[in-house]
Amino acid sequence: MSDKVSASAKDNKAEVWLPAGVTVHVKVKTNSKATQKVALTSKDGTVDHEFSGAGEKSMVIGETTITPGADSPFNAVFEYSGDDNVLKPSKLNCGGPYVIGNFHMVLVVAENGDDEDFNDTVLEFSWFAK
């Protein structure tokens, strides 16, 4: 596993370094009535995956698998829209990598400002390593 596994956040953009050559499961969940949007982009800014939706109780709004390369982080841009349907930047927090046996996880969580619980959008990257 790469030494670069980490996540950092600034404003509504997260940079996530994942292990190269490992199949990583990506899951996006929401706990908000407001529509949440997450765009995963490559280093060059190309949108590779986009997820959006609304719902509570950790409703899954998207899943995919990725296999990261050696020298490129994934960037994730988080936005939400309220009653006016205008996209606004979310506030972010992140954590990990968390390791439980062979299971690894990196999390990025977003808040849209209505309750400060940082669970309006939850972006999970998880994988198994030997």
Q: What is the per-residue pLDDT for 12?
A: 97
Distance CA 71, CA 80 (A): 30
Using the predicted structure, report yes or no on whether residue 1 has a pLDDT greater than 50: no
Q: What is the pLDDT of residues 4-24, one digit of tens each?
A: 899 999 999 999 999 999 999
Q: What is the pLDDT of residues 64-78, one digit of tens each?
A: 999 988 777 889 999
Q: What percent of the chain has pLDDT over 70?
A: 98
Distance CA 12, CA 96 (A): 18
